[in-house]
A = this chain, B = another copy of it.
């Protein structure tokens, strides 16, 4: 750690992993889940959601969705795109933050997914889905987006692979996130405010209310319908499903190698959680080793009280979208029609947690905490992180930073040795309006 005026040996806080040491396989935790993963179910109305999804999704992703293999090869084409996107991403030891907190026993590390081209971890699955879609001869990727992170990541990946992206974006967000919309359009995406005039479902809602604010569920419904309206279109999902969590496992797999490089090991892995793709990405490779008896570690999901699905949700079968286009999935859910208070950290606003995360929560492997949805406490943690570590994090990631700080302080007050890993899911350069709103500045 830096001491003014004192020339200590250089402390390397940045733990880099060379590109040629990037993992070559993704990890799939499904076969290691005690008792297995409850399968998706058809609702009683007789209409098969599986069949309707199967014809709309990327075939290779569907295959991975049902895979019982623990390790899945990352094709060389995807590895090349990962490296081009800046992977492996550095792991950092938060020495300056530790000093500010006066820690002597607890240690904090963080993983830098904020270094992604579009500013979030979503590129890890966007690249994989776009790559497979291109190989399957698809021309247009269709999706929905809430916070905008997923739509931006998919637009980026499609652009690198010469594909077109069509994004249905919750109108309430579309209207105030001009910057992110511009970024998607620069990547060549066609962005529609949802509800839109492009689908029967959208037109029906607009007829009822021309200024309908929309919702993530409505955007999903429009996207699925739009996929059927033209050739070579495929629907892509950015969270919740098994194949998405498989692709995101690259985060935790790199982190395991990086901890080995410095001879340390986390006792607690923290990630923010909306649907579960970023939490799963960092946590599941470590959790797999716990399940196989190779390490001891706890896992903590940091949520918002706007959508505390793991904290207050029921573990039951529910739809993944408002309109009920998806099969029923066994999840901790607040109910697919529950309305959730708008927050700046939009990415955490989802009614249920991924089936994989939910099953592991149900077996006692996942702890969860929800922070007040005024978001003041989380942005204050992000400000302390900025002042000490220097990096501007997204509002969603601020929840993980808050949780890491709280856990470290608690361990310290118990005089407990504790090594904490927090995932920084994205940067906050497009969230400065939120910082200005939440934090009192001179």
In this complex, what residue of B is CB-closest to A86?
B14
B84–A160 CB distance below 8 A: no
Q: Min CB distance, A424 to chain B, in Å?
A: 12
**How far is B76's CA from A422's CA once the two chains are assembled, in angstroms?**
28
Which residues in window 387-442 of A have CB below 8 A to B?
387-392, 427, 429-430, 432-433, 435-436, 439, 441-442
**Most chain B beta-carbon contacts within 10 A, residue among A9, A84, A387, A430:** A84
- Stretch binding the partner chain, chosen from A27-35, A181-189, A319-327: A181-189
Copies in the complex: 2
Using a Cβ–Cβ cut-off of 8 Å, how many residues does chain A contribute to the interface with B?
67
A14–B429 CB distance below 8 A: no
| Residues of chain B contacted by A182 (CB below 8 angstroms) | 432-433, 435-436, 441
A90–B86 CB distance below 8 A: yes
Given contacts A159-B390, A182-B432, A387-B187, contact A115 B117 (CB under 8 A): no
Q: Min CB distance, A434 to chain B, in Å?
A: 10
| Residues of chain B contacted by A186 (CB below 8 angstroms) | 383, 386-387, 392, 435, 439, 441
Residue A262 CB within 8 A of the other chain: no
Between A and B, 18 residue pairs with Cβ closer than 8 Å are: A5-B134, A12-B80, A13-B83, A14-B19, A86-B90, A117-B391, A117-B392, A119-B429, A159-B387, A159-B390, A160-B388, A178-B436, A179-B433, A182-B435, A183-B392, A186-B387, A186-B392, A190-B442
- Listed in ascending order, the chain A residues whose CB lies under 8 Å from chain B are 2-14, 16, 18-20, 75-77, 79-81, 83-86, 90, 92, 96, 115, 117, 119, 134-135, 156, 159-162, 178-179, 182-183, 185-188, 190, 383, 386-392, 427, 429-430, 432-433, 435-436, 439, 441-442
